Copies of this chain bind each other. A is one copy, B any other.
Amino acid sequence: MTQSLPPIDVLVSEVGPRDGLQSVKQTMPTAAKLRWIGALAAAGLREIEVGSFVSPKRLPQMADAAEVVAAAIKIPGLSVLALVPNLKGAQRALEAGCPRVTLPVSASETHSIKNIGMTTEAAIAQVGEVCKLRATLDHPFGVEVGISTAFGCTMEGPVPEDRVIALAVELAKAGADSVGLSDTTGYGNPAQVKRLFTRLHAELGEKAGGGHFHNTRGQGLANVVAALEVGVTTFDSSQAGLGGCPYAPGASGNIVTEDLVFLLESMGLRTGVSIDKLLEARKVLAEGLPGEALYGQVADAGLPKGFKPAGAAA
């Protein structure tokens, strides 16, 4: 954390070890996870969501979250995040030494109950509880929230934009450091992205978080471009689009880190990430999850002849 890193324009937050791994059937062994996280950090990724403190019965792939966090926080310069669904998860994350947690709160009541087993109201209350816990500690930790189904829900359909923004305001009041918007379902479109993030910035100011887009309908990077237009500077993505999408064979779930970094760097926006080293990390991922489908068009097609990333100028 103390080393001096070159400046970046956009933060790419890697969620593969959490969002990706929880979506595949195989459980990646802990040692393989740590090799992969190490390779991702070595590629220049500065923030990685390394696991999820949920019930191991529900997600056995995440049973080793404490061990993974404890090892990942030793990587110099890496900001480590873990997902926690509630206060209990946050306590476990803290015990493991996790400096920052992220809680999912769904804008769709139906999705909230299916995803984390509680209403949206109850999920907001959990954010409040986690922030209260923080206030009692000598070593405070970061508390982020991502609003799930912010762009629509596979069960409820369209989600009113007013509801999403009112929820973001409530979450900021509950004490969250930042509130981002997640297109959990791949329903979002660039016009909606611009509207929602413009309102989020207006209402939350410094507490407005980043964008988490899925590529289920091929619109992920189009939504990133729209978000960039209105000043969003943090994006979640998953190496190799890991986890795919159960509803769309061949379609990735999360946007693909390699393709996102290529987009940003080719636009002249510095990410601090080396695409060549990302492709090396991809091999480490493949070794840890044999036979798993890996996505990504830059990985398939290769870099353009004569390509110069924005960061190369630094």
Contact = CB atoms under 8 A, between A and B. Distances in A.
Interface in A285-310: 296-298, 300-302, 304-306
A211 to B, nearest CB: 13
A187 to B, nearest CB: 4
Interface in A188-224: 189-192, 215-219, 221-222, 224
A248 B300 contact: yes
Count of this chain's copies in the oligomeric assembly: 2
Contact of A226 (B153, B225, B251, B297): B225
A267 B229 CA distance: 15
A314 B215 CA distance: 29
Contacts of A297: 215-218, 248, 250-251
A20 interface: no
B301 A216 contact: yes
A53 interface: no
Nearest to A228: B190
* Band of interface residues on A: 35 or more
B154 A263 contact: no
A217 B153 contact: no
A50 B130 CA distance: 61
A152 interface: yes
Interface string A154-190: 1111100000000000000000000000000111011
Given A250-B300, A300-B251, A305 B154 contact: yes
A221 B218 contact: yes
Contacts of A300: 248-251
25 contacts: A156-B305, A158-B306, A185-B304, A186-B301, A189-B267, A190-B267, A191-B267, A192-B267, A215-B297, A217-B301, A217-B304, A218-B221, A218-B262, A218-B298, A219-B262, A222-B222, A222-B224, A222-B225, A225-B226, A245-B301, A248-B297, A248-B300, A248-B302, A250-B297, A251-B300
